[in-house]
Homo-oligomer: A and B are copies of this chain.
Amino acid sequence: MPLINVKVIEGVFTEAQKAEIVQKLTEAMVRIEGENMRSLTLVILEEVKSGDWGVGGKPVTTADVKAMAAGTPPG
């Protein structure tokens, strides 16, 4: 019965990665709650527009996240 809502910035993850997020978060949850809860475990993934996510008041873009993920300091 858990509901897992994931918000990410659009364009960071491919379709395959988004399907993997849905699958792997469910697996992680099922390992804790038990196999009987699997069919009731929901994941809703929502994408937020590039720049409409702020950290410390500064907009974060898709490019910023990709740079961070790659270990490149944001410019």
Residues on A lying within 8 angstroms of B by beta carbon are 1-9, 12-13, 15, 17-34, 36-49, 51-60, 65, 68-71
Contacts and interface: CB of A to CB of B under 8 A. Distances in A.
A7 to B, nearest CB: 4
Contact of A53 (B7, B43, B55): B43
Q: How many copies does the complex hold?
A: 6
17 contacts: A1-B12, A1-B60, A5-B5, A12-B33, A15-B51, A18-B51, A18-B52, A21-B29, A21-B32, A25-B25, A27-B28, A38-B56, A38-B57, A40-B56, A40-B68, A41-B57, A44-B48
A8 B17 contact: no
B69 A22 contact: no
